[in-house]
Amino acid sequence: MADDSFRFLRPWHQLLPPAGDAVVAVAGSGGCTTTLLRLLRVYRERGARVLVSQTTAHPVPFALREQRCAPDQEAVRGSLDAHGVAWTGEGDGDRPGGLAPERLDALARESGAEVLLVEAQASAGVVLRSEPEPAPVWPRRLQLALAVGNLAAVGRPYGPRTVVDVDEPQFTDDGDPRRVRTEEVTRAVRSVLATVPETARPLPFLTGFGAFRDIDGMFDLVQELVDPPRRPVVCLAELLGDERRDTADARDRAGESESPWHDDERVYAIYPAWLDENV
């Protein structure tokens, strides 16, 4: 499909539900925690009180260790009052367990959180999950579900350093290293999208965009993942998480004309142009 068949929704974060009683979750592989932290940044810039948690076991995000608290109403409310943010999970240690959706829902309501952000699938450990298991454990009252995939996996050797549950590097019939293909990343995203409850809006969210060189292929994968009206938008993101790199990028872009490929957020929400004709 031609490039002019698409439009950019700017800023991308208008896709997020407004603070007040918002519930947003992420699942997939290759950038879930980084994506969650970007969501946190957006909501905190809006002044929202944000509870961050998980329904499956995960390491505590380094950026939230000072906001870690016990999973009870008073502790969470105290962190929200002091920092505007609280992170909680089940148990001590570096990899706490997840909270049951019902318990997490009650905790968010009772603590006065205006936004609940949830990691809903066990960490993959590498950038591509070849199978959908373990399935995501979505929170209750879910409004927006981000299905994360990592485009930086494309072209990497298909082996244990890249793909979950692959024990040895794989090779083609010609003896060359087998490489991860774009369709394998989109297939993994689709496996997550298939689990999103009908009451929630799914959003394909592809990280690693800065390493993806196939611009024509980019529009092909967007076309593959959009499915209006429920899934009209795909997000392509470069989430570096490094403020020094962010600053250098901003300096290098100084004086450049406005372009959809140069955005301080480096998250690009793309949708089919024909949707505008139906507004």
Look up the pTM and report it.
0.89
Do the Cβ atoms of 51 and 42 come closer than 8 Å? no
How far is Cα 122 from Cα 29, in angstroms, rounded to an integer? 9
| pLDDT attached to residue 124 | 87
How far is Cα 104 from Cα 110, in angstroms, rounded to an integer? 10
Closest CA to 21 of 52, 50, 64: 50
Number of alpha carbons in the 13 Å side-chain half-sphere of residue 262: 11
Distance of alpha carbon 16 from its chain centroid, rounded? 12
Q: Give the domain extent around 172.
A: 3-23+125-278
| pLDDT attached to residue 259 | 41
| pLDDT attached to residue 159 | 94
And the tokens for 8? 């950019």
| pLDDT attached to residue 109 | 95
Phi/psi for 256 (5° steps) reads -75, 150
Asked if the structure places residue 31 within a domain, the reply is no
Do the Cβ atoms of 108 and 22 come closer than 8 Å? no
And the tokens for 250? 């901003």
DSSP class of residue 259 equals B
Asked if the structure places residue 50 within a domain, the reply is no
DSSP class of residue 3 equals G
Asked if the structure places residue 83 within a domain, the reply is no
How far is Cα 155 from Cα 22, in angstroms, rounded to an integer? 37
Do the Cβ atoms of 264 and 250 come closer than 8 Å? yes
How far is Cα 172 from Cα 185, in angstroms, rounded to an integer? 19
**End-to-end Cα distance, the chain:** 22
| pLDDT attached to residue 249 | 47
Asked if the structure places residue 254 within a domain, the reply is yes
- Beta strands 234-237 and 201-207 are parallel
Residues of the chain where predicted confidence (pLDDT) is lower than 70: 1-4, 240-265, 278-279
| pLDDT attached to residue 125 | 87
Strand partners of residue 270 = 8, 234
Domain count, the chain: 1
Distance of alpha carbon 67 from its chain centroid, rounded? 21
Asked if the structure places residue 190 within a domain, the reply is yes
How far is Cα 163 from Cα 60, in angstroms, rounded to an integer? 23
Name residue, tokens 């909501």. 43
Asked if the structure places residue 103 within a domain, the reply is no
Asked if the structure places residue 177 within a domain, the reply is yes
Torsion (CA) 153, 157, 158, 163 in degrees, nearest 10: -50
Asked if the structure places residue 235 within a domain, the reply is yes
